[in-house]
Structure 1
Amino acid sequence: MLDHLTKRWALTSLPGKSIKFAFLKFELTTNSGAAFGLGATWAGIFLGLFATLASATVFYFAPKIVNKFWAIVLALVLGGALGNLTDRVFNAPGFLQGSVTDWIVLPHWPNFNIADTSIVCAAILAFVLTLKNIAPIEGNKNA
């Protein structure tokens, strides 16, 4: 929801201009590639299908999760995947070929959005949980 609201704000408030803070800038861009503007040569259909598969995987494993932090990981992945999938489905040029709306700019870093941030936070949290040997599913010591 936050991703959708911030993208709508960016689409209505940022076309043709940017808002600058100390090292942070808000500037509207579109991305036909993967997260953070990478892989622009990849087909939008592949990325859309990947997001759909990631979402289905989350729905499959969600009822089996016994640790609240792993539940947060799944929620962050699902939110990020669905946020960018929504753009791919509904944005121009067409179904599963749409560009993702990016609007956050940091120096020496690709442009991104809240959905990308959500997925990265999920990956970091999953890494930490794995290092601490905290299993997502009861009886599974190999997270």
Structure 2
Amino acid sequence: MTEADRTIATPDTPEEGPDAPARDAASGASAVDPSPARRRRVPVLIGVAALAYLLDLLSKLWVVHSLEHHDPVNVLGHFLRLDATRNAGAAFGMGQGMTIVFTLIAVGVIAVIVRLSRRLYSTPWAIALGLLLGGAFGNLTDRVFRAPGGFQGAVVDFISPEHFAIFNLADSAICCGGALIVLLSFRGVNPDGSRHED
């Protein structure tokens, strides 16, 4: 290209070069996708919650169909049994007779998790909240749809370790999610992926 050609080159012709993306970003002309590390982790939360809920629901359907009104099934001798029972209280049989209270608490927990999901960029937090959400929905489904109904239904429990309270998979998901949240908080990890120092 001659000097004259360079002089009359069209000024709005886009230039290719290593600094072109930087100029575009500085001018705001180029919309660059956010880094995967900064994308919200709502799909992870929903996936974990759906898996926890589905496993809890299927296990309870099997228990009601195959274990209720039958003798307990020994899994690990007398150390672990499967024994169907109905629980009108909270997790691990606590708070009998306060079903409506625990129903309202479950609804509140779900509302808080939905609110937190707006700034959820941490995968471990998404897993923890997904476990809580799936477990809360699992037991809430029992309280809404099982007898006597009207948000006072009894939850199906069936996992019975020796010298321990009887529980279900939703209770396990809630406890694991809660424990993970405590661990993340102890390590200074926030739901938005940032870290704080004490």
Normalised to the residue count of structure 2, the TM-score between the two structures is: 0.68
Find the counterpart in structure 2 of residue 24 from structure 1.
Answer: 80
Question: Alpha-carbon deviations, 1:16-65, whole Å to 9, x = none?
Answer: 221102221001001000101001032x2111111111111111111311
User: Are the aligned partners of 2:87 and 2:96 in contact in 1 as well (CA < 8 Å)?
Assistant: yes
Find the counterpart in structure 1 of residue 60 from structure 2.
Answer: 7
For the aligned residue pairs, the C-alpha RMSD in angstroms reads 1.4
The one-letter code sitting in structure 2 at the alignment partner of 1:119 is I
The one-letter code sitting in structure 2 at the alignment partner of 1:49 is L
Q: How does 1:1-143 map to 2 (within 5 A)?
A: 1-15=54-68, 16-22=70-76, 23-42=79-98, 44-138=99-193, 141=196
Q: What CA distance in whole angstroms lies between the structure 1 residues aligned with 2:129 and 2:109?
A: 10
User: Are the aligned partners of 2:122 and 2:190 in contact in 1 as well (CA < 8 Å)?
Assistant: yes
Which portions of structure 1, spanning 4 or more consecutive aligned residues, are displaced by more than 3 angstroms?
none
Larger Rg: 2
Q: What CA distance in whole angstroms lies between the structure 2 residues aligned with 1:139 and 1:133?
A: 8
Count of aligned residue pairs for this structure pair: 141
Structure 1 unaligned residues grouped into runs of 5+? none
The one-letter code sitting in structure 2 at the alignment partner of 1:51 is A
Normalised to the residue count of structure 1, the TM-score between the two structures is: 0.93
Structure 2 unaligned residues grouped into runs of 5+? 1-53
Which stretch of structure 1 is more off in the superposition, 57-66 or 114-123?
A: 57-66
Q: What CA distance in whole angstroms lies between the structure 2 residues aligned with 1:5 and 1:32?
A: 20
Q: What CA distance in whole angstroms lies between the structure 2 residues aligned with 1:138 and 1:112?
A: 33
User: Are the aligned partners of 2:57 and 2:138 in contact in 1 as well (CA < 8 Å)?
Assistant: yes
Find the counterpart in structure 1 of residue 31 from structure 2.
Answer: none
Residue 139 of structure 1 and its aligned partner are, at CA, apart by 5.1
Find the counterpart in structure 1 of residue 15 from structure 2.
Answer: none
Which gives a bigger RCO, structure 1 or 2 (Cα 8 Å, sep 6+)?
Answer: 1
Question: Alpha-carbon deviations, 1:88-115, whole Å to 9, x = none?
Answer: 0000012101000001000111100000
Q: What CA distance in whole angstroms lies between the structure 2 residues aligned with 1:130 and 1:94?
A: 37
User: Are the aligned partners of 2:188 and 2:195 in contact in 1 as well (CA < 8 Å)?
Assistant: no
For residue 33 of structure 1, give the secondary structure of its aligned residue in structure 2: coil
The one-letter code sitting in structure 1 at the alignment partner of 2:123 is K
Q: What CA distance in whole angstroms lies between the structure 1 residues aligned with 2:175 and 2:187?
A: 19
Identical amino acids, percent of aligned pairs: 40
